[in-house]
Structure 1
Amino acid sequence: MARVAVFHNTLDFQGGADAVCLHACAALAEDHDVTLFTASKTDPVTLADRFDISLEADVVQPPGATALAAGFEALGPFVGPQLAARTTLLRLLCRRRLDSFDAVVSTANELSIPGPSVQYVHFPQFRLTRTEAAETSALNRVWTRLAGPEAPADRRTRLVANSAWTADVVERLYGIRPTVCHPPVDRIDGRPWTEREHGVLVLGRIAPDKRTLEAVEVLDRLRERGYDLTGRIVGAAPPAYREYVGRVRRAAAERPYLGVETDVSRERITDLLGRYRYGLNAKPREHFGMAVAEYVAAGMLPFAPADGGQVDVLDGDRRLLFDDLDGAVDRVASAVETDLRPFLPRDRFGSERFAAAMREHVAAILK
């Protein structure tokens, strides 16, 4: 048994990366003493319950961490999520304590850290001025100098990526290709296809990068074509995106066929996943696509842009992938017209697979 620190810059976005963090804590706690270091206003235990995860780890918020999280939350509408800045400052606050652990597992991307580490990359957070795959600012050079790794993989460091697409980006930036380990998504039970609602579910964080309003436009255009589809938007509404969430709420209020639910329980999410026929994601360059994977796991027909990690999730099938909003409308319309039924394996991304992989990576660096 080893002492393992899990480093996660914030849980406040309550999305797929945070689910990976909590699943990793649960998996590693079976063999090791686990301590989670984070700077969050969100209570980790409450969030773990929402994801239906048993969190058996000590949680450490270094002095000043809560104020740091509150400050980023207040600035969010103006400067964006600033993940690299969060990582840099949290690393500064807790670096001395991390030195005392046998291994560090970063579930918040790559960073410079001493000693053995597993670094799970959802998308690189440093060196972003060197890639066109992400929007960034000149400040990223500053954060890269302060906390970015020079050579993030040696025999004591393992890089892991959430998708082949993310692995490609990491390889271009660092010259090293990570091992791909898809995030955990378990099979979700639901109604038989013929008993499901004739509607579109849009699941995931409500934020500009998720293009929630573009998903609303797809539904509008389908209805204009004569398809009597309803819609429901369900997801976290982080305070950093409160202005955008307000716009989405107003759009729903103007449409009797569209509903919005925010910050709901896991039971409610699984109920909706098991009730709807169609799932839509509108974000291009999705790093993996947890919502898309949940659509598959729940026996829905999922639709997503034809780039990013969601191509992995949808096995590259062009019946489900689109290049633009016109293509999204066409794909859903074609599925309705032909009565296309779900055909992808529902248990491909199970949590036991993920847990076993994370335990193996940690065991390897401890040797």
Structure 2
Amino acid sequence: MTRVAVLHNTLDFQGGADVVCLSVCAALQREYDVSLFTLSETEPGVLAERFDIDLDADALTVRPAFGSERVGRLLSTVAPFVGPQLPFRSVLLRAVFERRADRYDLAVSTANELSVSLPSVQYVHYPQYNRHRLRDDEGATGGLLHRIWSGIAAPTRTELERSTSVLANSEWTAGVVDAVYGIEPAVVHPPVDPIEGGIPWDSRERGVVVVGRLAPDKRLLDAIEIVDGVCARGHDLHLHIVGGAPRAYRDYVERVESAAADRSYVFVERDVPRARIEELLGTHRYGLNCKPEEHFGMSVAEYVAAGMIAFAPDSGGQREILAGRDDRLFDSVPAAVDCIATAVENGDRPALDPDRFSSDRFEDAIRQAVRRRVH
């Protein structure tokens, strides 16, 4: 049987990239002998259950890197002081994998682009290396360490063109990859199935739900400020903030919980089961994301999939999810208040297709990409 190695720097941040990783493993298990190389505290089976991914965890061979749990815990512990260090984790992961690369027929990276010594499929959420080539980017001035990691682990354009199929999670990300490497990836949106069991619109609570990891880049304090603003306009609205709380972000989570404790209409729930997330999505009217330039926006797609009205910053891949609608996109906290308050006042109802990003579509695209490289 063809042996496929899936490379993923860490599952510990419990976000959209990790959903993609485990969904790729699940999709390929039907045809290939799949091993997962990762540097994580988190068990794949535990996370797959939380995200309702049909993964056979017992059949998945996990190749931990450098005593994965111990090193993952160490990196998570220092993250509040030095940052998540995802490119560094990928450098370590690549070093471990290359020692075993000759045992595999193909590599699939769900940890963005990597230089590997065998044919590969690489799924890019956002380029992790060579971002100094971009003029306007958070990583453009990443300093000496960023350039070192790029020199060690980044693929060249020739490598990507010769032996790699490159996929991107959105048209927006594909444009960034083109700017960095001069190639145009195929776009394969992440898997987000329609969420069944929602109650009728008229029976739903007039509340806002924010789903995703509890982390600074998600700007959860902005979400609280936005709902404050809508309530100040006389609307009886409440807010649920719900998602994974990785140890790397423990200080920030405490700040969010402290802000919620000062308000009777804000609720924070950590590390809840998938059933609870789906309950909230299926019983509330509005979904909110506050992270600008979200590379895709899994939570935004989930709001649509649950029959909610979704709001998000006017940048990144989430524009594609919301079809560029000006009344659902915002560029500041006051603009977000206006968007939501107007939707409430006008009695708006959802109008976007909840089935656009199905997991069947995603899995078929992944299998086709792998088959092209294997055969």
Aligned pairs for 1:38-187 (under 5 A) are: 38-56=38-56, 57-131=60-134, 132-135=136-139, 136-151=142-157, 152-187=159-194
DSSP 3-state at the match of 2:104: coil
Tell me if 1:331 matches 2:339.
Answer: yes
Q: Provide the rounded CA distance (Å) in 2 between the counterparts of 1:41 and 1:54.
A: 21
Distance in 2 (CA, whole Å) between partners of 1:338 and 1:271 is 25
Alpha-carbon distance in structure 2 between the residues aligned to 1:109 and 1:207: 20
Q: Which of these residues, 258, 264, 267, is aligned with residue 266 of structure 2?
A: 258
Tell me how far apart the structure 1 counterparts of residues 100 and 257 of structure 2 sit (CA, whole Å).
43
Aligned identity (percent) is 54
Range 62-71 or range 26-35, more displaced: 62-71
Q: What pairs up with 1:192-271 in 2 under 5 angstroms?
A: 192-271=200-279
CA offsets per residue over residues 111-138 of structure 1, 9 Å max, x none?
Answer: 1001110000001000122222323343
Does the 8 A contact of 1:306 with 1:323 survive in 2? yes
Could you list the per-position Cα deviations for residues 289-312 of structure 1 after superposition, in whole angstroms to 9, with x for gaps in the alignment? 000000000000000001001011
Are the aligned partners of 2:51 and 2:274 in contact in 1 as well (CA < 8 Å)?
yes
User: How many Å apart are 1:323 and its aligned residue?
Assistant: 1.4
For the pair 1:25 / 2:25, whether they are aligned, the reply is yes
CA distance in 2, matches of 1:244, 1:187: 31
Shift of 1:155: 3.8
- Alignment partner of 1:316 out of 321, 324, 327: 324
1:31 and 1:71 map into 2 onto residues whose CA distance is 36
- Give RMSD over aligned pairs: 1.0
Which residue pairs with 1:36 in the alignment? Answer: 36
For residue 62 of structure 1, report the CA deviation from its aligned partner.
3.0
d(CA) in 2 for partners of 1:6, 1:21: 8
Task: For residues 337-356 of structure 1, give each alpha carbon's deviation from its aligned partner in whole angstroms, at most 9, with x where no partner exists.
Answer: 11110000000000000000
| 1:154, distance to aligned residue in structure 2 (A) | 2.1
Compute the displacement of 1:235 (Å). Answer: 0.9
Q: CA deviation at 1:95?
A: 1.4
Distance 1:95 1:68 in 2: 19
Q: Distance in 2 between matches of 1:65 and 1:59?
A: 10
Cα displacement string for residues 197-216 of structure 1 (whole angstroms, at most 9, x for unaligned residues): 10111111111111010111
Per-residue Cα deviation, 1:266-301 (whole angstroms, up to 9, x for no partner)? 111111110110000000010100000000000000
Q: State the partner residue of 1:12.
A: 12
SS of 1:286 mapped into structure 2 = coil
Q: Is the 8 A contact 1:65 1:90 kept in 2?
A: no
- Counterpart-to-counterpart distance in 2, 1:24 and 1:299: 26
> Structure 1: which 4+ aligned runs deviate by more than 6 Å?
none
Which segments of 5 or more consecutive residues in structure 1 lack a partner in the other structure?
Answer: none
